[in-house]
Amino acid sequence: MRLNTIVLAAAISIASIIPAFAHHGWGGNVDEVTALTGMVTEGVKLAGPHGTMKIMTSDRMVWDITLAPPFRTQSAGLRQDTIPVGAIVTVHGQRNRDPNRLEMKTIQVEYAGKQYNVYPEFVDKVR
Amino acid sequence: MSFVQFMAWLEGSALGHVMRDNGVWFYGIINLTHILGVATLFGSVVILDLRLLGFWTDAPLAAISRPTTRMAAVGFGIAAVTGAGLLATKATEYVGNPFLYIKIPVIGLALLNVFLVHRSSAWRAHKNRELTYTERRRLAAMGGTSLFFWLTSIGAGRMIGYW
How much is the ipTM here? 0.71
Distance CA B110, CA B64 (A): 20
- Cβ contacts of B159 on chain A, cutoff 8 Å: 22
Q: How far is B20 from chain A (nearest CA, A)?
A: 5
B45-59: average pLDDT: 97
- Cβ contacts of A15 on chain B, cutoff 8 Å: 151
A91-119: average pLDDT: 95
Contact: A49, B162; criterion CB under 8 Å: no
Distance CA A76, CA A92 (A): 15
Distance CA B12, CA B94 (A): 14
Expressed in angstroms, the distance from the first to the final Cα of chain A is 62
Task: Give the residue from B101, B82, B87 showing the smallest Cα distance to B35.
Answer: B82
pLDDT band at A19 (very low <50, low <70, confident <90, very high): very low
Q: What are phi and psi of B142, to 5 degrees?
A: -70, -30
Contact: A18, B155; criterion CB under 8 Å: yes
Task: Give the residue from B11, B148, B144, B143 showing the smallest Cα distance to B65.
Answer: B143
Contact: B27, A48; criterion CB under 8 Å: yes
- Mean pLDDT for chain B overall: 96
When comparing pLDDT for B155 and A14, which is higher?
B155
Q: Closest-CA residue in chain A for B53?
A: A4
Q: Which residue among A15, A23, A47 sits closest to B20, beta carbon to beta carbon?
A: A47
Q: How far is A99 from chain B (nearest CA, A)?
A: 15
Q: What is the pLDDT of residue A18?
A: 47
Residue A55 above 60 pLDDT? yes
Q: What is the pLDDT of residue A9?
A: 67
C-alpha distances out from residue A125 to A1, A67, A111, Å: 56, 16, 19
- Cβ contacts of B54 on chain A, cutoff 8 Å: 1, 4
B149 SS3 class: helix
A109 touching chain B per CB within 8 A: no
Q: For chain B, give the percent of residues with pLDDT over 90.
A: 97
Residue A20 above 50 pLDDT? no
**Segment B147-153 long-range contacts (CB within 8 Å, at least 24 positions apart):** B147/B45, B147/B46, B147/B49, B147/B50, B147/B53, B149/B106, B149/B107, B149/B109, B149/B110, B149/B113, B150/B41, B150/B42, B150/B45, B150/B110, B151/A15, B152/B102, B152/B106, B153/B102, B153/B103, B153/B106, B153/B107, B153/B110
Q: What is the pLDDT of residue A29?
A: 84
- Cβ contacts of A1 on chain B, cutoff 8 Å: 54-55
Q: Closest-CA residue in chain B for A96?
A: B163
C-alpha distances out from residue A93 to A57, A84, B163, Å: 15, 21, 19
Q: What is the pLDDT of residue A23?
A: 38
A36-63: average pLDDT: 95
pLDDT digits (tens, 9 = 90+) for B62-110: 999 999 999 999 999 999 999 999 999 999 999 999 999 999 999 999 9
A15 touching chain B per CB within 8 A: yes
Distance CA A94, CA B156 (A): 26
pLDDT band at A30 (very low <50, low <70, confident <90, very high): confident
Lowest mean pLDDT among A13-27, A79-93, B78-92, B120-134: A13-27
